[in-house]
Chain A
Amino acid sequence: MILARLLVRVVTFLLLLLLALLGLAVALAAIEPGTGADAAGLPGLRDQVGAWFDGLEGGEGIAVPSLIGGAAAALLGLLLLIGLLVPRRERLVVLRRTDHGSLGARRRALAGVARSLAEQTRGVSAAKVKVKPRRRGGGRLRVNAARPRPTDEKAVERSIADQLESLTGPFRLKASVRTRAGERGERVQ
């Protein structure tokens, strides 16, 4: 989806640039007939395209490069349509939904809270959190924390999970915690 949107922006810019150049060529041709079209190389392009169409009409076998080009053009068109027409989805984690309203948070906000809680755990020097929302509400927190080498891996993971309980407990959030032995020089809380 990100690729499709990027492609839409780039292609839109290129098409606008091409349109501007064509407009310039037409304007030049209008001022001095022949000059603008020659400058844009339009007669040569017409001859090339004409020869290609003549070849197709003449029943020549379809060249592999043409076939690949056609398929690539179709794929590009499809990507452009997806980038243009598919609405952007806001990746929200719905924490609670009642008749009185809903409570939700963006992934970044939840990750910020979870990271702050995880980094308050004794024996944790740093933590990274990824949040994955679920379609029917709730989501999953993946915590990757650094700890000093001598600490017990399982004990630190349990402590982090306990620390996150205040965030995961009231909502349909599941936390999976992993720890790794920290690098030399990493500070410990």
Chain B
Amino acid sequence: MPLTPAHLASGTVRTRLAAVALEAAAGVDGVVGGDAGPNRLHVTGSGSGGSGGPLAGVRAVAEPGGGFAVDLGLRAGLVPLEALAHRVRLAVHGAAGAAGLGTELGPISVTFHDVVDPDQELAEAFAAALDTTGGAPAP
């Protein structure tokens, strides 16, 4: 389920924090997108108060001392993973603060589920274009 404005605007603090964190992480250069993982552990349901469906690529769990731990599941490009995780954390901190959720943000864990080779990505895009155009690549 892609991130929609409804995710950011409604729901509980937990779901809003998850949505803000995922949006911030997805905007970092080097991150290809969110990934729920093979066991779909990195998913946040919208809950009864939320709307827009479950978010794939993030999980927010209440911490014993208050606040929420955010666990991101991401697909990345071929870049140094530690530096990328650092940039993701900075982006999530910034976005949570800007959304007024900075005090709710606990530890941020980053898990890379897949690394996408740009050549492979290009080949997949080309194959998708062939599918949609019925054999001839889109101009």
Q: Taking beta carbons and an 8 Å cutoff, which residues of A are in contact with B? A: 88, 90, 92, 95-96, 99-106, 108-110, 112-113, 116, 166-167, 170-171
Contacts and interface: CB of A to CB of B under 8 A. Distances in A.
Interface of B: 37-39, 41, 69-70, 76, 78, 80-82, 85, 89, 107-115, 117
A101 B69 contact: yes
A104 B114 contact: no
Contacts of A113: 78, 81, 115
B107 A106 contact: no
Given A109-B76, A109-B112, A170 B38 contact: no
Q: How would you classify the secondary structure of chain A's contact residues: helix, strand, loop or mixed?
A: mixed
Q: Report the 7 A-B pairs with minimum CB-CB distance, sorted nearest first.
A: A101-B107, A112-B115, A105-B112, A101-B109, A101-B108, A102-B109, A109-B115
A105 B111 contact: yes
Contacts of B85: 103
Given A88-B39, A96-B82, A104 B76 contact: no
Contacts of A95: 81-82
Contact of A103 (B82, B113, B114, B117): B82
B81 A106 contact: no
Given A90-B37, A100-B107, A106 B78 contact: no
A90 B36 CA distance: 12
